[in-house]
């Protein structure tokens, strides 16, 4: 029996090692992710559908006609940022929920939800009149999408689950089949809203990548630092975008280390992105720049809905 279990576990580890390697579109490194990019898109649709159903039951208004101008503004910002991201061809779309929740999220594949509580006069932390501050939030969320943090997390959780079962039947069930069930872990039971739990490394990585995305798209990256500093001065509830670890003050301090580089790109979008594999590492520091692509051009020369393409990186 011991030999039998050992053989099953060995086959499991071989299977996960073979099928778990994927390409990290941002850093260029190998990533442990069972999901294909098409799976991200499908799972994102499932998440959005589940959230919209929950909102309908609770009578939470989404994309109301009175918010059309704001919704269009959000979509324009998303379009500009996504087009300078590492995955510009994903079907990005943004929705606006009229709820007193200081949050926004992006599901895999580019489905984004923004809550009006972000700019609530009393509890909110974003200046509704500032495209730069809104862009800071959206760039952070889009970075979670391009770094594929959710499906990487699902893969890790599925690995633990399958290793615990040590059963061939569980292994052959497949990543996509199990993924839908595992998505339940990302919904807050108390608030019934999509709330993925990112690791400290994920959050820092999304902060740093988002800083450069917003700068390349023509939004002032200093707004991101200001936003996290403001968040550090206020208390946030459990559903707040600012409630996750690491602490807001630490995040602001970390971003300050990358701000000089981001400002260079903001002032001259022809400059290349830094080497993003260094941005994913723990700790702050100046990342090495790579050669600019001849395709890159200043954001100021592009229409609002057509920002410059990202400089190709030597990843």
Active site residue 141: yes
- Measure Cα distances from 173 to 162, 167, 168, 295 in Å: 10, 10, 9, 44
- Sorted by sequence, the CB contacts under 8 Å of residue 208 that are 6+ apart come out as 254, 255, 258, 279, 280
How far apart are the C-alpha atoms of 152 and 199, rounded to whole Å?
A: 11
Look at strands 21-23 and 30-32 and give their pairing: antiparallel
Q: What is the DSSP letter of 96?
A: E
- Identify which of 225, 212, 215 has the alpha carbon closest to the alpha carbon of residue 274: 212
How far apart are the C-alpha atoms of 84 and 250, rounded to whole Å?
A: 27
What's phi and psi for 314, nearest 5 deg? -85, 80
How far apart are the C-alpha atoms of 255 and 249, rounded to whole Å?
A: 10
Structure tokens of 73?
A: 């503004």
The residue annotated as part of the active site, out of 141, 152, 203, 205, is 141
Residue 162 has a CB neighbour count (10 Å cut-off) of 19
Helix (H, G, I), strand (E, B) or coil at 187: strand
How far apart are the C-alpha atoms of 38 and 109, rounded to whole Å?
A: 8
How far apart are the C-alpha atoms of 74 and 128, rounded to whole Å?
A: 11
Which residues belong to the active site? 141
């Amino acid at each position: 029996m011991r030999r039998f279990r050992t053989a099953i576990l060995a086959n499991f580890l071989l299977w996960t090692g073979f099928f778990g390697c994927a390409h990290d579109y941002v850093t260029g490194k190998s990533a442990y992710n069972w999901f294909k990019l098409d799976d991200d898109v499908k799972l994102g649709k499932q998440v959005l559908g589940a959230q919209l159903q929950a909102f309908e039951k609770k009578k939470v208004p989404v994309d109301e006609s009175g918010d059309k101008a704001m919704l269009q503004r959000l979509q324009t910002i998303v379009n500009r940022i996504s087009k300078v991201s590492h995955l510009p061809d994903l079907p990005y779309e943004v929705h606006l929920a009229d709820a007193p929740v200081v949050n926004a999220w992006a599901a895999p594949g580019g489905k984004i939800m923004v809550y009006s509580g972000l700019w609530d006069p009393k509890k909110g932390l974003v200046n509704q009149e500032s495209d730069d501050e809104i862009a800071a939030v959206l760039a952070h969320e889009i970075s979670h999408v391009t770094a594929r943090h959710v499906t990487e997390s699902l893969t890790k959780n599925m690995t633990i689950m399958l290793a615990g079962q040590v059963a061939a039947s569980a292994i052959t069930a497949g990543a996509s089949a199990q993924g839908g069930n595992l998505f339940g872990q990302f919904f807050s039971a108390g608030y019934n809203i999509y709330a993925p739990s990112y690791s400290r490394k994920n959050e820092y990585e999304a902060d740093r990548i988002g800083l450069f995305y917003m700068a390349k798209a023509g939004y002032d990256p200093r707004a991101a630092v200001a936003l996290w500093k403001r968040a550090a001065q206020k208390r946030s509830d459990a559903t707040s975008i600012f409630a996750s670890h690491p602490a807001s003050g630490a995040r602001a301090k970390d971003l300050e280390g990358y701000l000089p580089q981001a400002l260079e790109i903001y002032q001259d979008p022809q400059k290349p992105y830094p080497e993003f594999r260094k941005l994913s590492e723990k700790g702050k520091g100046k990342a090495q720049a790579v050669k600019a692509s001849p395709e890159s051009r200043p954001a100021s020369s592009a229409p609002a809905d057509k920002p410059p393409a990202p400089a190709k990186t030597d990843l």
